[in-house]
């Protein structure tokens, strides 16, 4: 494929935008080469500035469950835009989408809209600290909750070692209140809790991880976290920015049957527009201003265009719940097809899948946490795989540590083309 126009646009962008991109993974630094600039998208396909058609497995990093430019969502945004784009005042549509979200998701009474997943997670942690009166949090290595300072923490060693910042600009003072645990390791969590007795406000987790590839929770892991939190008064926060309304109408809480105290949303709840949200039961949410003492605000929170897109998306997912079964069957079909050709081609691999999230790891060992994901990350092989797939018209995440997201707009012909591309690309591995 030819990417002349994309290359020209990237050169222009680097002159006025740091690295030429507004989010680092887009720069292709993890896989080499230059990013593809997209001109438009429809259904299951991206069309780049050079006219190439690509089958899309990113789907704007998760929200486009029904595919790109889905007509009910577009129509809702267009009609709402005709009435104005932003008011900075309450609007009825905010209540309508809140009512629908509360109906669909277990264990929540109220929801607060914000502008991004990062903002949702940041606000949820502040709320947890305000509600419990405690300052420390536990997060898991490899789980990404946005770029707020509290979350950009690298591993220390041992149960009582504080994390250290892994980005300049994050202070040691912030880092000392973030404790790092190992995903799928309950004993490690218990050690941290015991070593920091009565100091921890919350445990925040991606209940199905998507930022070290797709890593489902081990059997009993989420249930064990719930038990620890019940015994200690720690709040359990599910970051369902990726999984909320994607893996089930009620997200992982519904799928796994485990209740969280605070749930963070993003992506899907805005139908692809910039939105985040966090939700909980009344006693927690009523700690938020203007009712309670924990302050959180945003001029564009509840933006009418985003609310219109989100309401259209959630309404369709609520009314057509067979979509979840359909997209999960397609993901299973892709899994089985890739498994077959990779085995035939004698490639060392592990495939993880949960619902409509899936990832391929180029190593033999199971991938259950960040350490095993890093161990299986044959970056040279993945980079070759990524560019080979792109050359064959398949657009996957430009990182070995990102999950793929399927949309229901994908046809089985698209899936067969993807499996054939995997076969072709990996024959000479």
Q: What is the tens place of the pLDDT at every residue in 342-382?
A: 999 999 999 999 999 999 999 989 999 999 998 877 889 99
Active site residue 408: no
Judge if 123 and 243 occupy the same domain: yes
Catalytic residue among 48, 177, 185, 239: 239
Q: Is the same domain home to 97 and 213? A: yes
Q: Are 115 and 224 contained in the same domain?
A: yes
Of 45, 144, 183, 395, the catalytic one is: 144
Determine contact, residues 409/67, Cβ cutoff 8 Å: yes
Catalytic annotation on 144? Answer: yes
The confidence score (pLDDT) of residue 161 equals 33
What pLDDT is recorded for position 306?
A: 97
Question: Per the residue annotation, which of 267, 330, 395, 414 is the catalytic one?
Answer: 267
Q: Are residues 76 and 199 in the same domain?
A: yes
160 shares a domain with 52: no
Q: 126-146: string of b/e by CB count within 10 Å (b at 16+)?
A: bbbbbbbebebbbbbbbbbbb
Among the three residues 319, 345, 367, which one is the final residue of a domain in this structure? 319
Both 297 and 326 in one domain: the answer is no
Q: Which domain holds residue 55?
A: 4-69+321-426
Are residues 363 and 313 located together in one domain of the fold?
Answer: no
125 and 238 co-located in one domain: yes
Task: Give the chain's domain count.
Answer: 2
pLDDT in tens, 298-322: 999 999 999 999 999 999 999 999 9
- Give the end of a domain, one of 319, 335, 350: 319
pLDDT for residue 175: 75
Mean pLDDT, the chain, rounded, equals: 94
Active site residue 287: no
> Could you list the pLDDT tens digit for every one of the 429 residues in the chain?
788 999 999 999 999 999 999 998 899 998 999 999 999 999 999 999 999 999 999 999 999 999 999 999 999 999 999 999 999 999 999 999 999 999 999 999 999 999 999 999 999 999 999 999 999 999 999 999 988 877 877 433 233 334 456 667 777 777 789 999 999 999 999 999 999 999 999 999 999 999 999 999 999 999 999 999 999 999 999 999 999 999 999 999 999 999 999 999 998 999 999 999 999 999 999 999 999 999 999 999 999 999 999 999 999 999 999 999 999 999 999 999 999 999 999 999 999 999 999 999 999 899 999 999 988 778 899 999 999 999 999 999 999 999 999 999 999 999 999 999 999 999 988
């Amino acid at each position: 494929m030819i990417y002349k126009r994309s290359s020209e646009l990237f050169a222009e962008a680097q002159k006025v935008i740091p690295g030429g991109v507004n989010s680092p993974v887009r720069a292709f630094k993890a896989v080499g080469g230059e990013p593809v600039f997209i001109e438009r998208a429809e259904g299951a396909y991206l069309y780049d500035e050079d006219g190439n058609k690509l089958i899309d497995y990113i789907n704007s990093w998760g929200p486009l469950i029904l595919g790109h430019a889905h007509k009910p969502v577009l129509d809702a945004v267009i009609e709402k835009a005709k009435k104005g784009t932003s008011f900075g005042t309450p609007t009825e549509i905010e209540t309508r989408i809140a009512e629908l979200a509360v109906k669909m998701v277990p264990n929540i009474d109220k929801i607060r809209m914000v502008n991004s997943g990062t903002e949702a997670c940041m606000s949820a942690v502040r709320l947890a600290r305000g509600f419990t009166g405690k300052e420390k949090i536990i997060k898991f290595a490899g789980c990404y909750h946005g770029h707020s300072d509290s979350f950009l923490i690298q591993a220390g060693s041992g149960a009582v070692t504080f994390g250290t910042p892994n980005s300049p600009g994050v202070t040691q003072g912030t880092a000392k209140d973030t404790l790092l645990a190992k995903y799928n390791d309950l004993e490690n969590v218990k050690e941290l809790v015991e070593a920091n007795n009565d100091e921890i406000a919350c445990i925040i987790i991606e209940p199905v991880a998507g930022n070290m590839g797709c890593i489902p929770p081990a059997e009993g892991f989420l249930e064990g976290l719930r038990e620890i939190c019940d015994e200690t008064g720690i709040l359990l926060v599910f970051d369902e920015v990726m999984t909320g309304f994607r893996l089930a109408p009620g997200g992982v809480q519904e799928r796994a049957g485990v209740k969280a105290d605070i749930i963070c949303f993003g992506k899907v709840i805005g139908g692809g527009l910039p939105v985040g949200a966090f939700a909980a039961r009344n006693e927690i949410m009523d700690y938020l201003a203007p009712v309670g003492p924990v302050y959180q605000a945003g001029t564009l929170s509840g933006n009418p265009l985003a609310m219109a897109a989100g309401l259209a998306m959630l309404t369709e997912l609520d009314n057509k719940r067979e979509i979840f079964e359909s997209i999960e069957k397609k993901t299973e079909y892709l899994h089985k097809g890739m498994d077959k050709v990779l085995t035939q081609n004698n490639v060392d691999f592990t495939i993880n899948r949960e619902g409509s999230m899936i990832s391929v790891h180029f190593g033999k060992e199971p991938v259950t946490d960040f350490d095993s994901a890093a161990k299986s990350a044959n970056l040279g092989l993945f980079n070759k795989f990524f560019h080979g797939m792109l050359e064959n018209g398949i657009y996957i995440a430009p990182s070995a540590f990102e999950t793929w997201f399927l949309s229901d707009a994908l046809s089985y012909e698209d899936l067969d083309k993807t499996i054939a591309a995997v076969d072709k690309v990996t024959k000479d591995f």
